[in-house]
């Protein structure tokens, strides 16, 4: 039969403290417009005029504090309103953080020590799909709206929001996060782990966290403004066993002084007992948070990689390039046993050195994988260096010893030292 006619634009009148929850389809555009009142999407206000395109596949809530009328145009996967939200609790948490920032700024002006002039370092924890990334966005956007420049730290290697998966990264947030463009990407500090799952090499994950924290600490010591604004740290949804251990590690490594626990009583209790000297606060999870199964998450990872090269709206054209094998050196972080069992004293077990760099031969196995371009000058600096960006291997010609890749920018690679990964993306 004939395709159904697209629905006409429709208006929703939202009561104070209610929200319109919308799921956008993967390939059908949807846009939203404020007709009356004020409303925000995850902490960023809708402009008073004009249509705002909502990126494909996103799941959003248009929330209003004081009441609003909004209009949707386009086909959505679902749309419904709700007046049950935890937003008042969230904004109260924001107010407490804000008071701490103000206190830190006063201390800095009065020449207080590093401790007193340090604003809140908030870490948001909870199981997958508890709304962690969303709460981080709100806290950052609300702070930025008041003129603070908090640092966003994303430790979620599975569904990170700063750059491609497999990375831990940080970036200053200087204005409310753009509804269309997302987190600003002018100057992110990115360390490459290379896998979407921390258990592959948990020790390397810890070392990279330590490196990122060290760099941020250095930046903060020379910048009272960002020090007072503090950090908002997003974490992985893995909260049991090794996942829990890594959370404790993250709290210590980044010297977090506020832990916000979303939607899990047990985790809150455990962290409270484990960290009696810092504030561990339990917050309600929003019923609006959309559950995503592992297949969906896998697909999202793939889209994030594609977006890096092609843009959110498929509006960028990546550049294809060819290098000789001899022009680059590819390394893998960790793995590989230090010594074969036969070379060890009797009874000793071979130990894998998790942060040892292993030179990798270029092979056709690398086709479709992502390689990171390191800022390191020497191979042994790779683990402690952040990365400039990523390339995607499109072909390996063993006979002619040539590797073909795409990169977001034209020209030579900024470095010849590359880091291998298990991240793949298949061009459709
Ligand atoms: P987590 O970081 O804990 O895995 P997210 O914050 O990424 O969870 O939320 C999961 C999904 O639910 C995201 O797509 C997010 O945009 C969406 N979401 C969060 N809060 C709401 C809400 N109130 N209404 C609609 N969608 C929401």
Task: Report whether residue 132 contacts ligand 1, using a CB cutoff of 6 Å.
Answer: yes
pLDDT given for residue 3 in this prediction: 64
Task: Answer yes or no: is pLDDT of 259 > 90.
Answer: yes
pTM above 0.80, yes or no: yes
Task: Report whether residue 237 contacts ligand 1, using a CB cutoff of 6 Å.
Answer: yes
ipTM above 0.85, yes or no: yes
Distance in Å, CA 55 to ligand 1 centroid: 14
Distance separating alpha carbons of residues 314 and 312, to the nearest angstrom: 6
Smallest CA separation from ligand 1 atom 6, residue? 131
Task: Report whether residue 319 contacts ligand 1, using a CB cutoff of 6 Å.
Answer: no
Q: Where are the alpha helices (DSSP H) in 72-114?
A: 87-109
Task: Answer yes or no: is pLDDT of 232 > 70.
Answer: yes
Distance in Å, CA 396 to ligand 1 centroid: 39
Distance in Å, CA 239 to ligand 1 centroid: 18
Distance in Å, CA 97 to ligand 1 centroid: 22
pLDDT-derived band of residue 161, with 50, 70 and 90 as boundaries?
confident
3-state per-residue secondary structure call for 298-331: HHHHHHHHHHHHHCCCCCCCCEEEEEEHHHCEEE
Distance in Å, CA 290 to ligand 1 centroid: 5
Distance separating alpha carbons of residues 37 and 47, to the nearest angstrom: 11
State mean pLDDT over 298-319. Answer: 87
The atom number, within ligand 1, closest to the CA of 161 reads: 7
Whether residue 216 contacts residue 151, with contact meaning beta carbons closer than 8 Å, is answered with yes
Instruction: Summarize pLDDT for 320-352 with one digit per residue, the tens.
Output: 999 999 999 999 998 654 455 555 566 655 556
Instruction: Summarize pLDDT for 264-287 with one digit per residue, the tens.
Output: 999 999 999 999 999 999 999 999
Q: Within a 10 A sphere around the Cβ of 263, how many other Cβ atoms?
A: 19
Smallest CA separation from ligand 1 atom 14, residue? 59
Distance in Å, CA 129 to ligand 1 centroid: 6
The atom number, within ligand 1, closest to the CA of 63 reads: 23
Distance separating alpha carbons of residues 309 and 122, to the nearest angstrom: 31
Smallest CA separation from ligand 1 atom 20, residue? 289
Q: Within a 10 A sphere around the Cβ of 103, how many other Cβ atoms?
A: 16
């Amino acid at each position: 039969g004939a395709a159904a006619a697209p629905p006409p634009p429709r208006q929703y009148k939202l009561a104070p403290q209610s929200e319109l929850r919308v799921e956008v389809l993967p390939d059908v555009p949807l846009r939203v417009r404020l007709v009356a009142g004020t409303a925000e999407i995850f902490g960023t206000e809708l402009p008073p005029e004009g249509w705002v395109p909502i990126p494909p596949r996103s799941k959003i809530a248009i929330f209003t504090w004081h009441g609003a009328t909004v209009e949707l145009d386009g086909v959505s996967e679902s749309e419904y309103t709700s007046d049950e939200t935890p937003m008042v609790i969230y904004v109260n948490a924001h107010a407490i953080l804000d008071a701490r920032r103000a206190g830190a700024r006063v201390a800095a002006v009065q020449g207080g020590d590093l401790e007193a002039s340090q604003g809140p370092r908030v870490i948001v924890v909870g199981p997958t799909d508890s709304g962690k990334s969303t709460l981080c966005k709100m806290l950052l956007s609300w702070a930025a709206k008041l003129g603070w420049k908090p640092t966003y730290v994303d430790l979620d290697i599975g569904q990170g929001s700063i750059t491609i998966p497999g990375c831990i990264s940080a970036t200053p947030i200087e204005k409310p996060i753009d509804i269309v463009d997302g987190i600003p990407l002018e100057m992110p500090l990115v360390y490459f782990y290379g896998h979407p799952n921390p258990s592959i090499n948990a020790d390397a994950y810890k070392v990279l966290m330590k490196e990122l924290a060290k760099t941020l600490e250095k930046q903060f010591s020379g910048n009272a403004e960002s020090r007072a604004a503090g950090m908002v740290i997003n974490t992985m949804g893995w909260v049991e066993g090794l996942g829990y251990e890594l959370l404790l590690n993250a709290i210590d490594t980044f010297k977090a002084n506020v832990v916000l626990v979303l939607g899990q009583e047990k985790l809150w209790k455990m962290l409270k007992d484990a960290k009696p000297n810092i504030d561990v606060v339990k917050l309600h999870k929003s019923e609006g948070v959309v559950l995503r199964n592992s297949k969906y998450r896998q697909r999202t990872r793939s889209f994030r990689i594609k977006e890096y090269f092609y843009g959110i709206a498929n509006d960028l054209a990546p550049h294809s390039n060819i290098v000789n094998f001899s022009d680059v050196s590819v390394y893998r972080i960790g793995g590989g046993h230090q010594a074969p069992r036969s070379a060890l004293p009797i009874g000793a077990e071979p130990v894998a050195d998790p942060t040892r760099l292993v030179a990798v031969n270029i092979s056709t196995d690398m086709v479709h994988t992502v390689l990171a371009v390191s800022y390191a000058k020497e191979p042994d600096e790779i683990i402690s260096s952040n990365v400039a960006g990523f390339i995607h291997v499109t072909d390996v010609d063993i006979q002619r010893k040539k590797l073909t890749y795409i990169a977001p920018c034209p020209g030579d690679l900024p470095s010849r030292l590359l880091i291998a990964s298990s991240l793949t993306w298949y061009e459709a």
